[in-house]
Amino acid sequence: MALNLTEKECAPGGDAGRGSWGSSFGFIMAAAGSAVGLGNIWGFPMQVGKGGGAVFVLLYLVCVVFVCFPILVAELALGRASARDPIGAFQVTRPGTPWWLAGALGVTAGVGILSFYSVIAGWTLAYVWYSFTGAAGQNPGAFFVAFVADGGKNVLLSFGVLVITAAIILGGVRQGIEKAAKVMMPALFLLLVLLGVRALFLPGAAEGLAYYLKPDFSEIANISVLNAALGQAFFSLSLGMGAMITYGSYLSKKTNGVKSAGWVAGLDTCVALLAGFVIFPAGFSIVGFNPAEGGPGLIFAVLPSLFAAMPGGALFGVAFFVLLSLAALTSAISLLEVPTAALVDRGWCRRKAVLLMAGLVALMAVPSVLSQGAVSWLTKVPGTGMDFLSLMATVWNNWALPIGGLLISVFVGWVWGADKAVAELQAEGNSFPGARLWVFLIRYVSPLAILFVIIMTARGMYAG
């Protein structure tokens, strides 16, 4: 009997074959959940700080509209047309060619990114507790350094993140991912708006807003700022590794793919912009705050002192880190779903696929955890000058994602065919306004812009 049940649960794909979204709203929440993550609330304000404020924001918006949105549409179209994981999507549309390797790169990147993403997500979980107790508030900088150096505690935290993530996607596409996103994302938006309103009444609000919103145009021609803006937009929209191919593969033909993509990109951008409205007023209300000294410190080592000092700060702090944890979890879900889907589409049952991939990621997370001060050679990996976690972030974010994005845009624009993608998106009478503009962007603008960034990254590496 028990054995029977196991076998049944282990039918390939679980619910309704490989799974599908229950509604357009559910899909938008899940895809926005993937996009909205640490990249928006932790990464975006940090990059704005490094990139000199409002000019970065402007360049970021240009990158989202002209380079990244077209790729988001391309990934969704390819996923929906093939109804396969990223490897299968290339195999089905161009059988017998090596293009599937582009999908394999993405699947590998999913495992690699989650291996360090789960570590940072673990920090956010711990800080929910620390803001409640006020433990981090007295000397937040030193507290953060000591906290991340505690290897045992952080191994447990990142494993905890992976266990929650795995538990959700074990439920399948509709009963697991979609259900969780439909609760977590509205909660996240609500918290963010409340925090934004509260932050505007902090003593440093005016100064912070000026920094955030007034562009200093002397920076606009700064190539490294443009480079950072495109990289950030890419990561924030979960592009370049087939996460959106995978989520697109669960879409029904009735859903308007372009409109949904608009919602996803719009929500993601709004959350990033709103996060700036929380972080900068908050930061500037701390004496001696320097946004350019961003790094992980911006959130973990700076804000807790504010929470400790302001009236109702514990509540503000807990709400902030709950928000960050929700954002991180819905993104972790999409990162684990990509390698899971790759196995499910090769005949594995979902349960075995989830457990194997989560276990693999957990093993790979250990060196990232220990690189934060616990083990000295991981803290400065020989030959790189970086700690292992930063090395992972660099390899996957700065190399694998742009290369993956370049391959996807070339494939959809030229190889599979932009016309096929347009036809796919117009199936069932769905409208695709600006289809011709999209074809131009995906064929020329996106690939050239990404190529430019890859070259600049390579040059930056040799220069520095």
Selected range binding ligand TRP among 34-42, 62-70, 119-127, 143-151, rule: CB under 6 A: 34-42
Task: Establish if 40 lies at the interface with ligand TRP (CB under 6 A).
Answer: yes
Which CB sits closer to ligand TRP, 184 or 378? 184
Query: What three-state secondary structure class fits 381?
Result: strand
Nearest to 141 by CA among 290, 361, 347: 290
Rounded CA-CA distance 438/425 in Å is 12
Q: Are 337 and 177 in contact (CB under 8 A)?
A: yes
- Spell out where 315-460 has E strands: none
Q: Tell me which stretch binds ligand TRP (CB under 6 A): 33-41, 77-85, 138-146, 386-394.
A: 33-41
Question: What x/- string results for residues 208 through 247 when contact with ligand TRP is judged by CB under 6 A?
Answer: ---------------------------xx-x--x-x----
- Nearest approach, Cβ of 272 to ligand TRP (angstroms)? 8
Residue 30 is a binding residue for ligand TRP (CB under 6 A) = no
What is the rounded CA–CA span in Å between residue 272 and residue 277? 9
Stretch that binds ligand TRP, among 31-39, 53-61, 79-87, 293-301 (CB under 6 A): 31-39
In this structure, the dihedral spanned by the alpha carbons of residues 167, 73, 37 and 252, taken in order and rounded to 10 degrees, is -30
Q: Is 363 exposed, middle or buried (0-12, 13-18, 19+ CB in 10 A)?
A: exposed
Residues 6+ apart with CB under 8 A from 3: none
What is the total count of residues that contact ligand TRP (CB under 6 A)?
15
* Helix/strand number for the chain, H first, E second: 25, 0
Using CB under 6 A as the binding rule, whether residue 335 contacts ligand TRP is answered as: yes
Among 115, 154, 255, 331, binds ligand TRP (CB under 6 A): 331
Asked if residues 318 and 331 have their Cβ atoms less than 8 Å apart, the reply is no
Q: Applying CB under 6 A, does 38 fall inside the site for ligand TRP?
A: yes
Q: Which of 13, 37, 281, 283 binds ligand TRP (CB under 6 A)?
A: 37
Q: For residues 64 and 77, what is the distance between their CA atoms, to the nearest angstrom?
A: 18
By CB under 6 A, tell whether 91 contacts ligand TRP: no
Which residues inside 402-431 make contact with ligand TRP, applying CB under 6 A? none
User: For binding to ligand TRP (CB under 6 A), which residues are involved?
Assistant: 34-35, 37-40, 235-236, 238, 241, 243, 331, 334-335, 401
